[in-house]
Structure 1
Amino acid sequence: MPDAKTPAEEPQVIVREGTVYKIAVLGDGAVGKTSLLRKHVHKKFEKNYIPTVGVNIAKHNVKLKLKGGEEKEITLMFWDIAGQPQFYMLHKIYYNGSNGIIFVFDITRPETFTHIKDWHKECVKYGLEGIPAILVGNKIDLAGERKIIAPMAESLAKDLNLPYFETSAHSGAGVAEIFAKIVEMIYGYYRKGA
């Protein structure tokens, strides 16, 4: 397999109507990846936890409002990748072609926070370093059970050069903001040559 291209060697992509972007949603099992996507795409929250087997794909069309009032419609394909260890051998296949990454951890489970570095290293290993990515601390509605405080997460985000957001898939707090931010970052990254 050829070496991954550096961002400078990547072909320039022109954003036009119908452009499709793949966004990998990564993190340990039960951190709320599927719930965040459901809340954003379908405006629903499912209380019962059903583990993702392999990958779930959610499609979402968005209109970007550009300077000058112009609008462009793009399609986002969210790849909600299983966080359980038995699916790790499939990650390389699932990551292929990603245009953006959302790393998610659960603020009530410290091990999910610690594992973000491993998820990030895996992305670097598979040639995804430098593409738009954000870090999300989920489940802020469980404030009484919180184990990871915002300054800890902000420090990790700074180390990984990622913007940091906090969300609640249950209440919807911060959900729209994370998806707006990743779209903004992807558009900015891939608009070269437009």
Structure 2
Amino acid sequence: MAQEEENEYLFKIVIIGDSAVGKSNLLNRFTRNEFTEKTKATIGVDFGTKSIEIDGKVVTAQCWDTAGQERFRAVTSGYYRGAVGAMIVYDITSKISFKNVTRWLNELRENAEPDILIMMVGNKSDLETSREVSTQEAQSFAQSNKISFLETSALNSNNVNQAFERLLKDIYSHLGQRKNIVMDDGQEWLKPQTNAGHKITPLSDTPIATTTSTHQEKKKGCC
């Protein structure tokens, strides 16, 4: 059992983008395989988790759905802390939401860690007849900004799991390259107790990218 726990990773991922691009439905589709036709605008932050297996190890995505409205930006800015991955979502039927990806990308790079891994997601690919942003234009933008890209549909679940899993695999690979540096710094990374799909109140000062062991979880004084 102790050996299995040593193989567990917990990655914090923030989902950002304009309001009404489908961030909450992407989160719900990935973590609970649910879709709600009429959703209310997220106020503050919604939260969900899901675990997948990568190279025989359990990797848990801790996904934070931040509000897209401008008036909530001050509330959500603190939630970039500890994030090792980010999804910037736009609506393929809204040119404005795609243009605003630049602003979200700049905000992310100002508030998050410099080595955070970023994926741009063009949601609502099921609405092809109403498309305002071509796949080629989005791909070109992603390449020029050195971020990954995929189009999804939260409605029919097309590419939703693939998007999250690709980002998680990229983070896992990146973490493997950094692991020796982290250990050399003598830092202890503790994994908070959580179950997939369970909503908890997160602590902003708790490190998120982490490996764990039974011995570590018994230690006192962790926030």
Do these two structures clear the TM 0.5 threshold for a shared fold by scoring above it? yes
2:45 touches 2:76 (CA, 8 Å); kept in 1?
Answer: no
Aligned alpha-carbon RMSD (Å)? 1.5
Cα distance per residue 1:112-154 (max 9 Å; x no partner): 1001000110111114333211111000111111000111111
Amino acid at match of 1:46: T
2:122 touches 2:151 (CA, 8 Å); kept in 1?
Answer: yes
Match of 1:27 in 2: 17
Q: What TM-score, normalized to structure 2?
A: 0.75
- Pairing 1:124–2:114 present: no
Match of 1:135 in 2: 120
Q: Secondary structure at the match of 2:150?
A: strand
Give the drift of 1:22. Answer: 0.3
- Pairing 1:56–2:46 present: yes
Structure 1 runs not aligned, ≥5 long: 1-14
Q: What TM-score, normalized to structure 1?
A: 0.86
**Structure 1 counterpart of 2:62, from 54, 72, 77:** 77
Q: Secondary structure at the match of 1:140?
A: coil
1:123 touches 1:129 (CA, 8 Å); kept in 2?
Answer: no
CA distance in 2, matches of 1:136, 1:28: 12
CA distance in 2, matches of 1:161, 1:182: 14
Give the drift of 1:50. Answer: 1.1
Q: Secondary structure at the match of 2:73?
A: helix
Alignment of 1:40-189 (within 5 A): 40-64=30-54, 66=55, 71-189=56-174
Aligned residues: 175
CA distance in 1, matches of 2:6, 2:133: 40
CA distance in 2, matches of 1:75, 1:179: 11
CA distance in 1, matches of 2:113, 2:105: 9
Cα distance change, pair 189–83 in 1 and its aligned pair in 2 (3 A)? same
CA distance in 1, matches of 2:169, 2:9: 14
Structure 2 runs not aligned, ≥5 long: 181-223
Q: Secondary structure at the match of 2:126?
A: helix
Q: Which moved more, 1:127-136 or 1:98-107?
A: 127-136
**Structure 1 counterpart of 2:27, from 7, 21, 37:** 37
